[in-house]
């Protein structure tokens, strides 16, 4: 069957019918909204809870880059959902200074033990998209686990809405479509 003929609603409905009932949680962090858009799009394909990672810092390009670079531990709002209730977790995040934004690396480190043994996925919209492949190794360093799969989208792909195919393929592997 040609997957391209599916709308995201149909896709999610089919995934549910096929017994894709693994409980999924999508954590996202987003400053200018790109990763929030992608997290919402992902949720259309993979039935899941959506949770925003929030910190208390005022955004500042240089400080944010520096904190990302040194993986500074920052104060984040406590997670709302109980991680133990989920078997599959997505992290949707921008890339800052070649690294995870500090609120994201803080979450990954802080809850590393609870993420252990679950199906983890890394999704990112960033300036350089797929060129940021090194972020996958950094994910492993922080969590101790490889993501089961990852999806790296560039800002230009998002703006021109050229990510649909990639996202659909990524979701299809997960839901078994």
Ligand X SMILES: Cc1cc2nc3c(=O)[nH]c(=O)nc-3n(C[C@H](O)[C@H](O)[C@H](O)COP(=O)(O)O)c2cc1C
| Least distance from ligand X to the Cβ atom of residue 127, Å | 3
| Residue pair 58/52 in contact by the 8 Å Cβ criterion | no
Instruction: Say how far residue 35 (Cα) sits from the centre of its chain.
Output: 8
DSSP state of 55: B
Residues 9-48 that bind ligand X (CB under 6 A): 30-35
Three-state SS for 124?
strand
> Which position among 97, 136, 145, 172 is part of the footprint of ligand X (CB under 6 A)?
97
User: What whole-number distance in Å separates Cα of residue 23 and Cα of residue 34?
Assistant: 24
- Contact characters 128-167, ligand X, x per CB under 6 A: x---x----------------------x------------
| Least distance from ligand X to the Cβ atom of residue 48, Å | 18
Does 100 contact ligand X by CB under 6 A?
no
Q: Would you state the structure tokens that stand for residue 131, as one six-digit string?
A: 């060129």
Chain position carrying tokens 């693994």: 22
Interaction site with ligand X (CB under 6 A): 30-35, 61, 64-65, 94-98, 125-128, 132, 155
């Amino acid at each position: 069957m040609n997957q391209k003929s599916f709308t995201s609603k149909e896709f999610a409905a089919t995934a549910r019918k096929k017994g894709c009932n693994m409980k999924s949680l999508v954590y996202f962090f987003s400053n200018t909204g790109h990763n929030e858009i992608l997290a919402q799009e992902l949720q259309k394909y993979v039935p899941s809870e959506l949770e925003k990672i929030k910190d208390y810092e005022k955004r500042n390009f240089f400080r944010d880059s520096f904190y990302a670079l040194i993986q500074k531990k920052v104060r984040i709002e406590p997670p709302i959902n109980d991680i133990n209730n989920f078997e599959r977790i997505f992290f949707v995040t921008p890339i800052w200074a070649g690294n995870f934004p500090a609120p994201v690396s803080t979450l990954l480190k802080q809850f590393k033990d609870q993420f252990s043994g679950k199906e983890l996925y890394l999704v990112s919209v960033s300036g350089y998209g797929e060129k940021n492949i090194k972020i996958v190794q950094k994910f492993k360093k922080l969590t101790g686990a490889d993501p089961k799969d990852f999806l790296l989208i560039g800002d230009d792909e998002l703006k021109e809405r050229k990510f649909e195919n990639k996202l659909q393929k990524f979701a299809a592997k997960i839901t078994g479509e």
